[in-house]
Amino acid sequence: MNQTLNDAELDTFPKLMLSHAQLRPDRDAIREKDLGIWQSWTWAQVAVEVRALACGLASLGLARGDKLAIIGDNRPRLYWAMCAAQSLGAVPVPLYQDAVADEVAYVLDNADVKIALVEDQEQVDKILEIKDRCPKIEHIIFDEIRGLRDYQQDYLHDFEKVQAAGREFDHDNPEFYQTQVDSFSGEDIAIILYTSGTTGDPKGVVLTNNNVIITARNGIIREGLSADEEVLAYLPMAWVGDNLFSYAQSYVAGFCVSCPESGETVGQDLREIGPTYYFAPPRIYENMLTQVMIRMEDASKLKRQAFHYFMDHARKVGVRILNGETVSLKQSLLYRLGNLLVYGPLKNVLGLSRTRLAYTAGEAIGPEIFDFYRSLGINIKQLYGQTECMVFICVQPDGEVFADTVGTPAIDVEIRVDDNGEILYRSPGVFDSYYKNPESTASTKTEDGWVRTGDAGYFDDNNGHLKIIDRARDVGKLNDGTLFAPKYIENKLKFFSFIKEAVLFGNERDYSTAFINIDLDAVGNWAERRNLAYSGYIDLAGQQEVFQLIKDCIDKVNRDLSQETHLANSQIRRFLILHKELDADDGELTRTLKVRRSFVADRYDSLINALYSDQSECHVCTEVIFEDGRSGMLEADVKISEAEFYPVKAASREAAA
């Protein structure tokens, strides 16, 4: 068993690194493709590099509690900078390399950064541009000298010169490094990670060594990872996931991390490395699948047919085989043949032949994309996480992977669902605080250590997995007390190509109702194929056939909802098709085309009242603003209808029990 994994004495990253340098000095710790060749550094070499850099940083004045900003692509030297800072009890603060100068200025100032260690001229220029606004910065260190030879500033330093100074310092003070490393423990701050912050300024999440190391270790134990894993470090270093997968878990388990040659070569590098452990957001899995499909369209007929034949077979049995279920001998043999002819070569092209574990997170992944990879035998799983707890909240267990849940709590994580549906968790990974922001800390983290996620969800009764439905602030309640998650249902509706926009009502009402906007292109096309004549949106929206079409969609969503215990009561009882398209010019949508729910509710007050009565029609008169700025009135009779209500499945089960 991996000794480093169980040693509680190793409670900081420098200690972990030094232990690997003793236990597995000749194993590769990190690789980088440079000049077309993979260059490697063993753990013993990494220890030497980090030591020289740490001493160099110390001679520049970096000490306990000081902040070291790290900006650049995934490069070995930047990862070493993290460990070097941590050796001195200083705190690395990685920033997004493509952040604009203003964002960088905010973080550098907010985090009280003393030294910035950056990749190249681009980043140096960015910092020089804002240096006046960040008076706390004393030194800038760069990794890549190109284009910087003529810069005269005395606070600019070449990485190699800092290391050289460090070696000299080390020679004069041979005890210094080890004493420093020994003097810090798990309680000390390991890193500050800034959350991108969709609202307001970014917040610096302060994580201790214990937060990071225990969480990383728990993840390793749960998935049975070892020192033999191969990981490609290609996601931004400022993102918590990269810090966990490419740094923390590598230092805990001792596996090797590879840095791609450049941002554009990631695909090729992925193929060459063949990672065994891989993380990607859903978007990347989607792109890979699209690429495959496009290339198959261009392939010869024979190849295309073979591909589709075997992919159909994989869709039938692949997931079951991956889950360890038994399938018939014939199916199993056919799958093996498919593996030889299609699945194997395909995985090889994607760079996923050796992948034992692939994670995805961040947003919902389409079930068909998910199943594509799983049917090929790639164990892709969803996880649910946050920066505030070093990623892991929930992970899907092997063999229990569903497209619509995020799995069961990770090791040592407790989860609680609040009365309003909000998910709270508590774990050893829970962050210390937001840097210099006690108000935000207090509103997010309770005194007994629970963290509010801001997400609403519930545990599925059938499999015990956590299911995320919406942002908590958008979730309300029906009068009978059941959960009402408008966005969740709206998204289900918008999944139909005929429905462009849906607005649900139901908070503090007896039942839920819906406004529907039809998609003029999709429904228009559908109507033309049926020889239905129409003159425009209002006309089309008012036709009986279209009404029936939308009702069918709503019925399907209701049937889905009836299967979900917690949401079954929020099935849509009554709905209408709006007589006009919701428009940003009329203030009904934001400029990013999100529905302004309360504005719409006020504006169409009379329609809402009609939805909550037994009227079957309502006359409306709406002022609209045309594209040239003139305004006019739009009048219409809007039909209102009941939708099918399906009996609530789980409730009946409860009654029976």
Partner 1 sequence: MIDKHNDDVILAVDNISLSFGVMKVLDNISFDIKRGEIRSIIGPNGAGKSSMLNVINGFYHPQQGSITFKGNTRKAMAPHQAASQGIARTFQNIALFKGMSTLDNIMTGRNLKMKTNLFWQALHIGPARAEELENREAAERIIDFLDIQAIRKKPVGKLPYGLQKRVELGRALAAEPDLLLLDEPMAGMNSEEKEDMSRFIIDVNTQFGTTIALIEHDMSVVMDLSDRVLVLDYGQQLADGPPHEVRANQDVIDAYLGVPHE
Can you tell me the distance from the alpha carbon of 249 to that of 561, in angstroms, rounded to the nearest whole number?
39
User: Does residue 268 bind partner 1 (CB under 8 A)?
Assistant: yes
CB 157, min distance to partner 1, A: 18
Cβ closer to partner 1: 122 or 519? Answer: 122
Tokens of 103: 């964002």
Cβ closer to partner 1: 33 or 114? Answer: 33
Which residue in the block uniquely carries the two structure tokens 């920033």?
Answer: 95
Which residue in the block uniquely carries the two structure tokens 């919406």?
Answer: 470
CB 124, min distance to partner 1, A: 14
Q: Which stretch binds partner 1 (CB under 8 A): 50-58, 75-83, 143-151, 295-303?
A: 143-151
User: Does residue 455 bind partner 1 (CB under 8 A)?
Assistant: no
User: Does residue 265 bind partner 1 (CB under 8 A)?
Assistant: yes
User: DSSP letters of 263-318?
Assistant: GGGHHHHHHHH--SEEE--HHHHHHHHHHHHHHHHHS-HHHHHHHHHHHHHHHHHH
CB 143, min distance to partner 1, A: 14
Cβ closer to partner 1: 264 or 614? Answer: 264
CB 116, min distance to partner 1, A: 22
Cβ closer to partner 1: 267 or 362? Answer: 267
Q: Please, what's the b/e burial string for 131-164 (b: 16 or more CB within 10 A of its CB; e: otherwise)?
A: beebeebebbbbbbeeebeeeeeeeebebeebbe
User: Does residue 298 bind partner 1 (CB under 8 A)?
Assistant: no
Cβ closer to partner 1: 264 or 439? Answer: 264
CB 121, min distance to partner 1, A: 9
CB 125, min distance to partner 1, A: 11
Q: Which stretch binds partner 1 (CB under 8 A): 146-154, 209-217, 366-374, 601-609?
A: 146-154
Alpha helices, DSSP H only, in 453-514?
486-494
User: Does residue 171 bind partner 1 (CB under 8 A)?
Assistant: no
* Closest-CA residue to 70 (of 31, 131, 123, 18): 123
Can you tell me the distance from the alpha carbon of 412 to that of 422, in angstroms, rounded to the nearest whole number?
20
* Closest-CA residue to 25 (of 39, 14, 41): 41
Report the site for partner 1 in 18-77 (rule: CB under 8 A): 33-37
61, 65, 147, 454: residue in contact with partner 1 (rule CB under 8 A): 147
CB 72, min distance to partner 1, A: 14
Cβ closer to partner 1: 150 or 614? Answer: 150
Q: Which stretch binds partner 1 (CB under 8 A): 144-152, 276-284, 368-376, 468-476?
A: 144-152
Task: Round to the nearest angstrom and report the end-to-end CA distance of the chain.
Answer: 47
Q: Which residues contact 655 (CB under 8 A, 6 or more apart)?
A: none
Cβ closer to partner 1: 195 or 265? Answer: 265
Cβ closer to partner 1: 146 or 171? Answer: 146
| Burial of residue 199 (number of CB atoms within 10 Å: 0-12, 13-18, 19+) | exposed
Cβ closer to partner 1: 146 or 591? Answer: 146
CB 149, min distance to partner 1, A: 6
Query: Angle at the Cα of 378 (from 377 to 384), degrees rounded to 5?
Result: 135
173, 262, 305, 463: residue in contact with partner 1 (rule CB under 8 A): 262
Q: Which stretch binds partner 1 (CB under 8 A): 87-95, 179-187, 257-265, 622-630?
A: 257-265
Contact 108/124 with Cβ under 8 angstroms? Answer: no
Q: Which stretch binds partner 1 (CB under 8 A): 85-93, 258-266, 270-278, 614-622?
A: 258-266
Listing from the earlier edge strand, what are the strands of the sheet with 277-279? 277-279, 357-360, 380-386, 391-395, 408-409
CB 147, min distance to partner 1, A: 6
User: Does residue 146 bind partner 1 (CB under 8 A)?
Assistant: yes
Cβ closer to partner 1: 65 or 147? Answer: 147
Binding residues for partner 1, rule CB under 8 A, total 14
150, 154, 175, 297: residue in contact with partner 1 (rule CB under 8 A): 150
Can you tell me the distance from the alpha carbon of 309 to that of 442, in angstroms, rounded to the nearest whole number?
57
Q: Which residues contact 638 (CB under 8 A, 6 or more apart)?
A: 542, 576, 577, 578, 579, 607, 610, 617, 618, 619, 620
CB 259, min distance to partner 1, A: 13
Using DSSP's 3-state secondary structure scheme, residue 574 falls into strand
Please write down the HEC assignment for all residues of 207-264: EEHHHHHHHHHHHHHHHCCCCCCEEECCCCCCCHHHHHHHHHHHHHHCCEEEECCCHH
Cβ closer to partner 1: 33 or 313? Answer: 33
9, 132, 154, 264: residue in contact with partner 1 (rule CB under 8 A): 264
Cβ closer to partner 1: 147 or 399? Answer: 147
CB 42, min distance to partner 1, A: 23
* Closest-CA residue to 91 (of 215, 7, 175, 204): 204
Using DSSP's 3-state secondary structure scheme, residue 158 falls into strand
Cβ closer to partner 1: 11 or 269? Answer: 269
CB 265, min distance to partner 1, A: 5
User: Does residue 363 bind partner 1 (CB under 8 A)?
Assistant: no
Other Cβ atoms closer than 10 A to 81:
29
Other Cβ atoms closer than 10 A to 469:
24
CB 293, min distance to partner 1, A: 21
CB 266, min distance to partner 1, A: 9
Tokens of 180: 């420093």
CB 35, min distance to partner 1, A: 4
CB 36, min distance to partner 1, A: 5
Can you tell me the distance from the alpha carbon of 113 to that of 66, in angstroms, rounded to the nearest whole number?
7
Specify the amino acid at residue 263: G
Other Cβ atoms closer than 10 A to 197:
10
149, 530, 591, 630: residue in contact with partner 1 (rule CB under 8 A): 149
103, 112, 143, 261: residue in contact with partner 1 (rule CB under 8 A): 261
Cβ closer to partner 1: 153 or 497? Answer: 153
- From residue 162, alpha-carbon distances to 251, 310, 410, 518 in Å are 24, 57, 41, 63
Which one-letter DSSP state was computed for residue 605? H
Q: Which stretch binds partner 1 (CB under 8 A): 142-150, 177-185, 415-423, 428-436?
A: 142-150
Residues in contact with partner 1 by CB under 8 A are 33-37, 146-147, 149-150, 261-262, 264-265, 268
